[in-house]
Amino acid sequence: MSKSISIGEKVIEVEGMMIPINEMVPNPKQPRISRILSADLRKSILETKGLVQPLLVERISESQKKSLLKEVKERYQGFEDTCVPEFLNSVEPKYVIIDGERRWANIVRIISEDPSADYLKIVPCDVIKQQLSEKDRYILWVSIHKMRKEWMAMEKENAAMALIKLVGDPASAANILGVTVKQLSKFIEIYNLSLRMTKAVGPRAISYAREIMNLAAKLRTEEVVNAIVDKVNRGLIKDSVDIRQLRIILNSPEAREEFLKPNGTITSALSKIHHTGVAPSISKSAEFRDTLIQFKSIISNYPWREIRKWKGDKELLEEIEGCIQFLQEIKETLAA
């Protein structure tokens, strides 16, 4: 069945079809989705006895199959679960997934755990009729995820880099991504910084890079950044959240000196502060900024799919409105 679907300002022609799950693979050119396996999503798929929303796929040519499958297998090396890498050994790709990788991966997980879930081996798909260029394919993917507002920062940073390569112009890339040029530049900076730690910590490198970039600019000197990267790569910093302690450490000369030593750690640096019994002074504005960062981080972890379920919650809406008004008053006071 042919139909038109609107994605942002773009309208594409698709054909509705039922396609075997082992005849499609994710697009390896797209950013890898964070936390791709989800117990909640699998529960939803099982409750509805399949997919409510079709996967969006594109046909691939015979000549593309071998190289595409190789790239997809590389994408899932070291994956959090063996079900997808094992499943990829049995696929015969005829389609590439433009939207729906999480649903595809979770169906694969269900099938691997429950052989009786045969009804999930064939899924509804919207097959794009026209042949897309790599650029158009990527912009389409970005448009879909912008509308959902549920992609993780890692995806935005990877998307920013990919768009720069595809369109060449930062202003155009920022417009497609729906951010300012300044925000785009920060995404690129975080992405490039994460590459220096990827070999040691894998996909988590982006979290480390984000924490580093959240340090105040005056504290985030080249020497400090190089030291953090080195300690992450050598396993002296094992959790990205620990980097937040540097907001205290780097304000203390003794603690800073200890941290910058080749084998200095966050723990050994903090001991210098505790040893003196005097905590470094941190301005109230810096404390408030850190509070806002933590608040933003906490609420951004709630999936939009879950938030939509709270629609109409009057008490929650009142609290949100109160927060907005309070923050607006603070903003107006600071800008005055």
Q: What is the pLDDT of residue 32?
A: 62
* pLDDT value at residue 335: 85
pLDDT score recorded for residue 297: 64
Neighbours of 125 (CB within 10 A): 23
Contact status, residue 46 vs residue 103, Cβ threshold 8 Å: no
Strand 24-26 relative to strand 95-99, pairing: parallel
* pLDDT at res. 8: 55
Q: How many CA atoms lie within 13 A of 205 on its CB side?
A: 20
State the pLDDT at residue 303: 65
Q: Count of residues for the chain?
A: 336
Per the DSSP assignment, residues forming a β-bridge with 16 are 126
Q: Which amino acid is at 88?
A: L
pLDDT of res. 218: 92
Residue 181 makes CB contacts below 8 A (sequence gap 6+) with 170, 171, 174
Rounded CA-CA distance 213/238 in Å is 17
pLDDT at 152: 52
What pLDDT score does 127 carry? 93
Token pair for 236? 């002296």
Letter string b/e over residues 192-202, b meaning 16 or more CB atoms within 10 A of that residue's CB: ebbebbeeebe
Phi, psi of 329 (to 5 degrees): -65, -40
Instruction: Tell me the whole-structure pTM to 2 decimals.
Output: 0.56
Burial class of residue 78 in the structure, from the number of CB atoms within 10 Å of its CB (0-12 exposed, 13-18 middle, 19+ buried): exposed
Q: Do the Cβ atoms of 128 and 14 come closer than 8 Å?
A: yes
Query: What is the residue-level pLDDT of the chain in tens, covering all 336 positions?
Result: 777 766 556 677 889 999 999 999 998 887 666 678 888 889 989 988 899 889 999 999 899 899 999 999 988 887 767 888 899 999 999 999 988 898 999 999 999 988 788 899 999 999 998 887 777 777 777 777 665 555 554 567 877 888 888 777 888 788 777 778 888 888 899 999 999 998 998 878 988 999 999 999 999 999 999 999 999 999 999 899 899 999 999 999 999 999 999 999 999 999 888 665 555 555 677 767 777 877 776 776 666 667 778 888 888 898 898 889 889 888 888 887
CB 4: neighbour CB atoms within 10 A?
A: 9
Supply the pLDDT for residue 203: 78
- pLDDT given for residue 295 in this prediction: 78
Whether the CB-CB separation of 174 and 184 falls below 8 Å is answered with yes
